[in-house]
Structure 1
């Protein structure tokens, strides 16, 4: 089967067919990957409260004993019901040999979910699932504006709050890189605005603007502007907070893709301020002056080089979890040095 289309995924997860017992959930949005894997496992395990029928395995466990996965899948629950197996593939150890055994011997009743990172089309694990007639691959990419709106609606409705259009537009510029991080920020925002019964722009600025914007936006702006002091400080704070380095790299890549698009439009003699003002989703008004400066600092050639470097960094961070923060930090510092040199020339 080919990977599910974006419009099909939520409907499929809400009601996965009993005929499918092997699913791969993968993509650059680690929070969304985890959320969807959890939802699938919870749905399958809802009718079975036997804790011994719910198994969690790490890639290292399976790499050390490739037959472990098929043994677990063939085990019949003592008290009946459906056995669930949740496998986390971290990029350092391959579960492909064990999965191949499952695909060849798919006559098992257990429900197996493989949670993986960002897999290219050529990745062996992804190719096996997408070419299989019995397994399903579910991609998880960064949230679109529509996805963020749905997430906002879910959390505000749950909290019994309304939200203004201006506050919603502000959230569009701050959320979307990682589903779990976005949901956490929204829960915090709803709790903060609870006493006012409605979320206004000032609530967003006071709660998400100070924490989340620094955590991502200020850090990336500092790199793009050559502000190494702010960048060093931001990296220290993010490292101490346990922020996923892969999320930082993915957000930086998206930011430089946006800068590249702006630079191309500016090359057509469109004023940079007009280019920035017309971006969708809209850029948070407090950041616009910084973005204008970044478009002026970076030329097309340097931006293309930065995009190649960031794309490689996203991949390397996923494949080397123990070194991911050092890898991302090194890339952002290198980008900041380029921006600083460009500033001096200007």
Structure 2
């Protein structure tokens, strides 16, 4: 049995101790989970672009074909000394949990199983299988807090030798958080465009990260949650026509969905939508409270999870194809608005 507390994970990843054929990295911050999984795979010595040594699976594939993981784990690599089986999207999957339990009890030689999971509760089949298995290591990841955001800012800017003014740092921190990949991408964008002189000032943050009001962000976000397709289209067009970055709107919608995921969990646990929203800190602005309450009642846990997966894929697509960021963002958020309309 092996597991780490959230504050111990970075240290363990930097200097892993012991051999663990089955590693689970899980938590509500999908960007942080993905980032740490990639770091672990690289530090374990796997070439991530080598299809002979790295096999990628979705948890849903294993759930529909329970024997798939065992077959893959016991397949001998023909052109590599070791194999990595990388599983994404693990949630409340019983068949996957059963397979991981067997693999922890009798791990295959020269094969590592790396699992990315969502916000798994204690006792969930996947989490329990790894935490209780002698060959398993479970690593929890949680949403970026102030100290973690400071660390990402220092890491990204320090890598390029860029300094940042104190007031610019405070403004940047206020606009970040919620998802590690989104946080990192926003800082990298700022460093790329504003760091040519080696220092970032407040004006750079206002120009690059965005200076539109929170009201504009809320209008677009609430239209998505409510399934108001026309309202979203107007808000998005106005946002882009004003010269604002689509990425900032995607980040705001992602933060709203992460909050919605937490609120939905409270409602599923027996709380009312109104009491769950009232307990949020920092509080939901009063003019938006009814909209958020209706969204909590309408969006299910599974539909919220699908929305977050779509947004995360959008962030990655915008990073790799920056010239198409505007239509990429619009298409993804329009799909969410259509999904909300269907749920309604």
Q: What residue number does 1:317 align with?
A: 304
After superposition, residues 101-120 of structure 1 pair within 5 angstroms as 101-120=102-121
Alpha-carbon distance in structure 1 between the residues aligned to 2:148 and 2:230: 35
Alpha-carbon distance in structure 1 between the residues aligned to 2:17 and 2:187: 32
Matched, 1:195 2:203: no
Alpha-carbon distance in structure 2 between the residues aligned to 1:155 and 1:298: 34
Matched, 1:15 2:15: yes
After superposition, residues 248-263 of structure 1 pair within 5 angstroms as 248-251=256-259
Q: Does the CA contact (< 8 Å) of 1:317 and 1:325 recur in 2?
A: no
Alpha-carbon distance in structure 1 between the residues aligned to 2:43 and 2:216: 33
Moved more, 324-333 or 136-145: 324-333
Alpha-carbon distance in structure 1 between the residues aligned to 2:43 and 2:154: 22
Cα distance 1:158–1:83, how it changes in 2: closer, same or farther (>3 A)? same
> Tell me, which stretches of 5 or more residues in structure 2 are unaligned?
241-245, 267-274, 312-331
Cα distance 1:152–1:218, how it changes in 2: closer, same or farther (>3 A)? farther
**1:289-312 Cα distance to aligned partner (Å, 9 max, x none):** xx9xx645478xx699569649x6
**1:83-116 Cα distance to aligned partner (Å, 9 max, x none):** 2111113659763343233133225331110112
Instruction: Tell me by how many angstroms 1:313 deviates.
Output: 4.5
Secondary structure in 1 aligned to 2:16?
Answer: coil
Q: What residue number does 1:137 align with?
A: 138
Moved more, 170-179 or 149-158: 170-179
Matched, 1:185 2:172: no
Cα distance 1:212–1:56, how it changes in 2: closer, same or farther (>3 A)? farther
Cα distance 1:125–1:253, how it changes in 2: closer, same or farther (>3 A)? closer
Q: Does the CA contact (< 8 Å) of 2:163 and 2:199 recur in 1?
A: yes
From the CA coordinates, give the structure whose radius of gyration is larger: 1
The alignment of Structure 1 onto Structure 2 pairs a total of residues equal to: 304
Cα distance 1:251–1:161, how it changes in 2: closer, same or farther (>3 A)? farther
Instruction: Tell me by how many angstroms 1:153 deviates.
Output: 0.4
TM-score (norm 1): 0.68
Matched, 1:161 2:162: yes
Q: Does the CA contact (< 8 Å) of 1:313 and 1:331 recur in 2?
A: no
> Tell me, which stretches of 5 or more residues in structure 1 are unaligned?
266-278, 281-290, 334-346
Instruction: Tell me by how many angstroms 1:253 deviates.
Output: 6.5
**1:250-296 Cα distance to aligned partner (Å, 9 max, x none):** 14578999xx999789xxxxxxxxxxxxx99xxxxxxxxxx9xx645
TM-score (norm 2): 0.68
